[in-house]
Structure 1
């Protein structure tokens, strides 16, 4: 397998560095001696304290420079590129969340479309070795064919969030074609783990339990046709990104898209039971959620399931962390972070 390993002599610009994936990727690169420039607007879409905790963990690294700002600010992005001359750019800054895009469309256009356009323009005028950017499994919409493959038709998004991510792929392809920017899009599948996003279901379930509230499950209480999700542990996501960083696409149009998912979808109810068991173990007492079943929400899809053949072919990697192992690490961190041990 001929793929190039990470080059610590390069400068890596990571947008969304205070975010879940951005933090873990920054930390991994810093541990290997890379220079990392992190940008984040530290918005309050979810608990800002968690973002500050992540940034606090990155600050001791002498190779880390943090810039508080928004990628939709074109002047800031241009100045950052001119000053730091990054070799590799990883754009993880985005307004996340499918359901929130129904209530608050403006921020998605601002961050995910205008912000990404600014990154592309900056790469156009300050050439980089590789632009890696976050897409999403949501581009597959309500595709019935599983597993989802990168070659599948993705022109029927069911949320504005998904539309913005599909737009990013089209924009990157165009800039790659016109200005020879080597670019790779990553379709992430339900990322979870310690220090994750509190707006994600597993984190919300834990929050509800400790607040003494029932959890809402949006599957109509239909256990036969339960929602399936390809839950992907954070370390697997970071490993996949890291392996791709020094391996830009080649060919006439230097643009490629990869799935990064676990390739083994789990029923939502199985995931919930596993989380109950993990929290029980972390606390040393039995945890059982009170459950309320509701209809599936607009913009949600019944199943996500990634084919990871392309990723394996390119960089010899396939995510393999089981939900038992991943959720235990989350539960142990959660109980410790919120100081919940009696």
Structure 2
């Protein structure tokens, strides 16, 4: 089944499409972005070292080609009430990489890779999201409702260090002798579908004097507001940078992904002076190429908040140490 990964369809970047791999927990379908998937291997109980006293969803560590990685039993952790499969069922492990970490996720089986539009992914309703943060949205494929699993959130439940340490960043910023006042003058936008991450980034940026920030729950809402600013700037004969200096966007978002959002901004002659930084758990060597192809001014993986602020300073011409390119 690992051939599914090797045969991944090459998507043109910025078309608002993605590929998800559909897998099963019992008879319920779930999915993740193929970009997070390194390989699929058969589940081998003998390769697992159990950690006594751990959460039922944490099977332990998995020996993978001489290295050990955490192994999560998604079915137990998500608390699926689906009946167990037969003993001879071919359970597999999804080996995933995001936020510069590798983790394994045991599932009951995989179906296939689907090429879909982000526009067809329905975000979780706000009142549901607060109770089920382990899912970021859902999509209907061939009559099956596939829930998109938030693997980053699940890993953070076992390993808090993998999550963004917002309070530490706020404390660090507060200890600086002097924060650049020019940061207050910059007009910013943030597109991020996770309410928790969105609020956390907002707190960090405002604590760093980046106080003029407008947030959006997905790329489409952000783009619609960008078009409103464009109309206002055109009507008043002013450059767009009088209204917006920099956009920070996640990559994975319902309705419109961050690569598409960035491409639309950079392909528009009136908008292209707006700096765009992609801030995502998906950043790796392959994704960096895609970020460059849509004209992103910078990109960083989500744990690197100090680097994000440095990068913002660099592209906005704020006095201080420039970020590494």
TM-score normalised by structure 2 residue count: 0.32
Instruction: Name the structure, 1 or 2, with higher relative contact order (CA <8 Å, separation 6+).
Output: 1
More helix by share: 1
